[in-house]
């Protein structure tokens, strides 16, 4: 039977691109997201069987109910891609909107934990599994006005290390992926639909595409069993750090 991968935030961006590439590689997929119509559209596009779970990663009970509802044929999750997460707002710490802070900490940190705790026990029981956490260059380097988003991704970095230490004796691999600028709806969400501001983030250079990150994830989860790609930063060629991008106008 084909390996089962579970992807959170599968309805757009890196999650959607990862679903397509893993399906092309023969994985059966559990697609998680908030927007059922989008997941249904994606399901139709895939080459392999998929199972849809709709929940908001922030809702611990909703996450529990969703995973408990999985039929037995879908319970042996071998690969978990913790992709769901977003940035909300970008302002100096003294100007931060508490609703934005909550949204980022609750989805990027609590959400990752809410999902992981439902999948890890099965992996431990089977003494096998692979967790891939989507961090960010922002988890490694703080940039001006990035404060809480950067903190949420720094927490992901710490959780990747912590999971790797704790799950090592159980035969479970943990990988951390830290992308730089990727042209998805990330900036449109961060700037609450202000498309001009969002477009400006990617002006004057060639950013990564969601597919570039998906290809890396595919490499990570199909590496030989004895190989763990523990931590990868992936940047566009024009980007050297969280704050330095060469732009041509």
- Compute the distance between CA of residue 210 and CA of residue 146 in angstroms, rounded to an integer: 21
Characterize 214-234 residue by residue with b for buried, 16 or more Cβ atoms within 10 angstroms of its Cβ, and e for exposed. bebbbebbbeeeeebbebbbb
The reply on whether position 242 binds ligand 8X3 by CB under 6 A is yes
Shortest distance in whole angstroms from residue 65 CB to ligand 8X3:
30
Shortest distance in whole angstroms from residue 150 CB to ligand 8X3:
7
- Compute the distance between CA of residue 157 and CA of residue 155 in angstroms, rounded to an integer: 5
CA 70 to chain centre: 21
The binding track of 201-220 with respect to ligand 8X3, each residue x by CB under 6 A or -, is --------------------
Shortest distance in whole angstroms from residue 79 CB to ligand 8X3:
22
- Our answer to whether residue 149 is catalytic in this structure is yes
Among 27-35, 109-117, 133-141, 219-227, the segment contacting ligand 8X3 (CB under 6 A): 133-141
Shortest distance in whole angstroms from residue 75 CB to ligand 8X3:
32
Task: List binders of ligand 8X3 among 143-182 (CB under 6 A).
Answer: 180-181
**Nearest Cα to 180, choosing from 220, 133, 136, 148?**
136
Shortest distance in whole angstroms from residue 2 CB to ligand 8X3:
31
- Compute the distance between CA of residue 100 and CA of residue 51 in angstroms, rounded to an integer: 31
Among 12, 107, 136, 183, binds ligand 8X3 (CB under 6 A): 136
Q: How many helices (H) and strands (E) does the chain have?
A: 9, 7
Among 137, 148, 167, 217, binds ligand 8X3 (CB under 6 A): 137
Instruction: Indicate the length of the chain as a whole number.
Output: 249
Nearer to ligand 8X3, 129 or 139 (CB): 139
Task: List binders of ligand 8X3 among 21-80 (CB under 6 A).
Answer: none
Alpha helices in the chain (DSSP H): 13-24, 36-45, 60-68, 98-104, 112-126, 147-167, 186-190, 195-201, 210-222
Give catalytic residue positions: 149
Q: Which residues lie near ligand 8X3 (CB under 6 A)? A: 136-138, 180-181, 186, 242
């Amino acid at each position: 039977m084909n390996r089962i991968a579970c992807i959170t935030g599968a309805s757009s961006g890196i999650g959607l691109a990862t679903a397509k590439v893993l399906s092309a590689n023969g994985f059966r997929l559990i697609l998680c997201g908030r927007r059922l119509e989008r997941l249904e559209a994606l399901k139709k596009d895939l080459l392999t069987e998929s199972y849809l779970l709709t929940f908001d990663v922030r809702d611990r009970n909703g996450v529990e109910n969703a995973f408990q509802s999985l039929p037995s044929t879908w319970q042996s999750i071998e690969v978990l891609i913790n992709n769901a997460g977003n940035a909300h707002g970008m302002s100096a710490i003294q100007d931060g909107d508490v609703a934005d802070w909550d949204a980022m900490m609750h989805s990027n940190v609590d959400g990752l934990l809410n999902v992981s705790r439902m999948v890890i026990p099965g992996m431990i029981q089977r003494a096998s599994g692979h967790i891939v956490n989507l961090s960010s260059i922002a988890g490694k380097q703080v940039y001006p006005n990035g404060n809480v988003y950067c903190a949420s991704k720094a927490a992901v970095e710490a959780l990747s290390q912590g999971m790797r230490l704790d799950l090592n004796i159980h035969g479970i691999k943990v990988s951390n992926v830290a992308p730089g600028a990727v042209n998805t709806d990330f900036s449109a969400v961060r700037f609450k639909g202000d498309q001009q501001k969002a477009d400006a983030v990617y002006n004057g250079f060639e950013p990564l595409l969601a597919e570039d990150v998906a290809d890396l994830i595919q490499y990570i989860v199909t590496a030989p069993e004895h190989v763990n790609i523990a931590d990868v930063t992936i940047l566009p060629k024009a980007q050297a750090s969280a704050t330095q991008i060469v732009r041509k106008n």
